[in-house]
Chains A and B, each alone.
Chain A
Amino acid sequence: MGNVLVFAEHQHHKFTKTTLVAVTAGKDAAAKSGGECYAAVLGKGVDDLANEIAEYGAKKVFVVDDAALEHYTADAHAAVLAQLMKDKGIETLVATATAVGKDLLPRVAALLGAGMASEVVSFNADGTMSRPMYAGNAVATVAIEGTQKVVSVRATAFDPAAKGGKGEPEKVSASIDDAATRTRFVSFNEIKSDRPVLTEARIVISGGRALKSGENFKTVLEPLVDAMGAAMGASRAAVDAGFVPNDLQVGQTGKVVAPELYIAVGISGAIQHLAGMKDSKIIVAINKDEEAPIFQVADYGLVADLFKAVPEMKDEVEKLKH
């Protein structure tokens, strides 16, 4: 009987889809270990958030409300979660591998002396888990030994939890000592965009180095992106060339996406890029090199000059709307 605790991440006092993904994964892990699924909400003034997440099926929601947790920092959050894991006798901690999840979970694992599996894509019936390694060129079956376990899950591998059940919020007070509050949050510069969030969009259109400049991302790619209501991504090559910021990078070292439709424009299809998008439902590749490896994973390939094809596609898509 191993109970599971889901770390319910929130940003700007809101949960994102990735939090609901963690709830699904947590419930799945609990079902397979025959335990209960709980959630934890950490922050300042977060009672409403605790009530909100309680509606998604966690049996209990631990609420740690403390001024030291107002801005997320790894040291304070990890100290609180490790304490909670011990006090409540919880076996497994689960969160989604977001920037916060990646930053936080290993720290908790080390505080507990627990093993950790990152970017897990499935919990198997025998207690093992599956996770990609080598940029997705191998799928590893792994097991964590010991009394406690820490698991981050890949956001694209689980569906967001639907509403159902009413968990019970339980206030827990934390003793956060000075050693855990030495990191000072200075500022957050949001990259504002009216487009859907890359990791949550139904359609993602990514550009590669063949776009040749940041200006071409704006004048050639963006009109199609907006006509389709899509999120914009990029290959590492395009990011390295300075065409677009790194938070648009799709791939092994960037974001992992699995939209219903992924359109790769002028992207050759390096292993590292495929690692970030190959689980998309439909993949389209537009590339003038018909030998480009991207065509080996594409459902539909168009061998064409992107500077002609992309504006044409925008016009065709707009025609569909009328």
Chain B
Amino acid sequence: MKIFVTVKRVPDPNAAIKVKPDGSGIVTDNLKYVVNPFDEIAIEEALRLKDKGGGAEVVLVSIGAKVASEQLRTGLAMGADRAILVLAEQELDSLAAARIFHKLVNDEKVDLVLMGKQAIDDDANQTGQMLAALLGWPQATFASKVESLDSEAEKQGVPGIVLADGKAKVIREVDGGLETLELPLPAVVTVDLRLNTPRYASLPGIMKARKKELKEIPIDSLGIDVKPRLKVIKLDPPPKRQAGRKVGSVQELVQVLHNEAKVI
């Protein structure tokens, strides 16, 4: 069993993001970068499948500048076995990323690809579905589980995705409820917030991670078309919402909503 987990280096979700005055991007000075939070959940799920299911190899894959190796090291410190970084300085769209992952998956015999449902920088929510299409594999997006993140099963590190008989059973968060799908492996699964709470890297984990394999592949050596089909022309700050006013009491609030805003 081999599980690929994709890892994207993104700005810290708690950082205040500002658009550059010329609209060419965001201000990156002093910006802290982290593993995309959804990808952390994907790593955790892969490690649980490995721990409970017996002997999977968990391989992290990322695309980006050399600094993205920091995020791969974080994943290795959590417990992944090895990592691959496709070195790319240019802007890539989701389709280009999917094409790169497609090539990497085809080069190794992969049974399951786990990915975050979206990256919190471009918020596109596309790459997993695109990769599944290119591979011709079934997909399940927004993997979740019935048990809460406070449950006993969660405390014991039970995976939400069930692998058995060459199939993956996945519970998905969809509009109005939870859907259960069964996919024959190999398959692509993207994960949602409620699937698990990712572990922290332990100190021994961090020490071990330094010695784990992190292979770098220049993007040009892959020989695939990575010209972006989606071009970001410019960024603007969002329209500012004016702060309104404070009201003194509940009575006043209900009165203004009724008489002034006329919404109740």
7 inter-chain pairs at a CB distance below 8 angstroms, sorted by A residue, are A103-B141, A115-B93, A188-B179, A228-B264, A239-B194, A261-B257, A300-B256
Closest chain B residue to A247 by CB distance? Answer: B173
Q: CA–CA, A184 to B233, complex, Å? A: 41
Chain B binding surface, main DSSP class: mixed
Q: Of B123, B193, B239, which contacts A135 at CB under 8 A? A: B123
Q: B237 and A139: CB pair below 8 A?
A: yes
Give B123-155 interface residues, CB cut-off 8 Å to A. 123-134, 136, 138-142, 144, 148-150
> For residue B135, which residue of chain A has the nearest CB?
A110
In the complex, B211 has a CB within 8 A of chain A: no
Q: Do residues B264 and A317 form an inter-chain contact, with CB atoms below 8 A?
A: yes
With A102-B141, A145-B231, A312-B250 already in contact, the answer to whether A110 and B243 are too (CB < 8 A) is no
Query: With an 8 A cutoff between CB atoms, is A73 at the interface?
Result: yes
Chain B contacts with A in 154-181, Cβ cutoff 8 A: 169, 172-181
Do the beta carbons of A11 and B175 come within 8 Å of each other? yes
Taking CB atoms, residues of chain B closer than 8 Å to A22 are none
Q: A138-B17, A138-B235, A183-B181 are in contact. Are A284 and B243 (CB under 8 A)?
A: no
Quick check: is B104 within 8 A (CB to CB) of the other chain? no
Given contacts A102-B141, A115-B229, contact A189 B94 (CB under 8 A): no
Contact-residue size bin, chain A (C-beta under 8 Å from the other chain): 35 or more
> Considering the chains assembled together, what is the distance between the CA atoms of A54 and B183 in angstroms?
35
* Nearest 9 CB-CB pairings of A with B: A115-B229, A299-B244, A110-B133, A106-B129, A110-B130, A106-B126, A137-B17, A186-B180, A99-B174
A residues engaging B (CB < 8 A)?
Answer: 11, 73-75, 78, 98-100, 102-111, 113-119, 128, 132-146, 179, 182-191, 197, 199, 203, 228, 236, 239-240, 242, 246-247, 249, 252-253, 260-261, 270-272, 278, 281-284, 290, 295-304, 309, 312-313, 316-317, 320
Interchain CB contact under 8 A, B132 and A107:
yes
0/1 per residue, B224-255, Cβ < 8 Å to A?
A: 00001111111111110101111101110110
Partner of B257, one of A144, A282, A296: A282
What's the Cα separation between A290 and B129 when bound, in Å? 43
